[in-house]
Amino acid sequence: APTLVVSDENAAKQVSHVENLRMLKRKKHELGDILLVDQKHAVSMTYYRNNILHLTALPALVACCFPQGAMHDRPAVRNMIACIYPFFRREFFLQWRVENIDKEVDSLLDWLSGQKLLDFDEQSGNFLHAAENAGSPQLQLLANVISPTLELYYLMIVMLRDSREKKISRDDIEKKSFLVAQRVAMIHELNSPDFSDKHLIANFLTQLEKNRCIRLRDDDGIECSGDFSLVEKNLSLLLSPQARSAILQTAKTQS
């Protein structure tokens, strides 16, 4: 849409309104109250989130390029985003065409730098997310918007890679991905609805086939192309080492 309507209420009033709807739980603490979404309302809250997620999906994806200590120049960020963006465009109904995404990435890098969420080293031409940067927490919060989706994608990539020598149907892939995603969420206490979203799993698998990253043969075999390896590589770069390790460990025990 060409226009965007922003609430006139401040953050405190908006939080209070959601509490009144009983969609948030508040835990009292001397150092400051903690707000939580309980499992009962997690799926319901997903619908509210998805109504506006397209507004922050691409900025959040760019933010994910900069886990703590990472630094990249413009071409590197463009390449990472260009590889993953087709999956995001389908899932979140994003307006930018794949062939025009480099321009949007450049604009977002400049904006994040202007907001002091990224540093820019003129000598090397690298953008970086440094520990001493006052905007680091805000950049991480932005990245967290989309991190669960990336983690689910990476989990499916790992499972597909490890299933290449086995006979497994599409339905079995979707079912196993769903169960392992739930297990990852339970073990690591991740209260994200993305890990229980069968629609998200099916869409990603469809897009992998459409982009010729994989081919599911009639004999229930899986063929992975060079583009599949590229998606795996770039997804791993967009995740924190902790998330990547947790996914690899859990997927390995279920293979």
Residue 73 has pLDDT above 80, yes or no: yes
Closest listed residue to residue 76, CA positions, set 98, 52, 105: 105
Domain 52-144: which CATH number of 3.40.462, 2.60.40, 2.40.360, 1.10.10: 1.10.10
Dist. CA 252–CA 222, nearest whole Å: 18
Band (pLDDT 50/70/90 cuts) for residue 59 is very high
Domain ranges of the chain: 52-144, 147-254
- Note the pLDDT of residue 97: 93
Band (pLDDT 50/70/90 cuts) for residue 62 is very high
pTM of the predicted model as reported, rounded to 2 decimal places = 0.85
Query: 26 with 19: CB under 8 angstroms?
Result: yes
- Note the pLDDT of residue 112: 94
State the alpha helices, DSSP H only, in the chain.
11-20, 39-63, 74-92, 101-114, 136-144, 147-162, 170-187, 198-210, 226-238, 241-254
Residue 152 has pLDDT above 70, yes or no: yes
Band (pLDDT 50/70/90 cuts) for residue 92 is confident
Identify the architecture of domain 147-254 in CATH. Orthogonal Bundle (1.10)
- Note the pLDDT of residue 221: 78
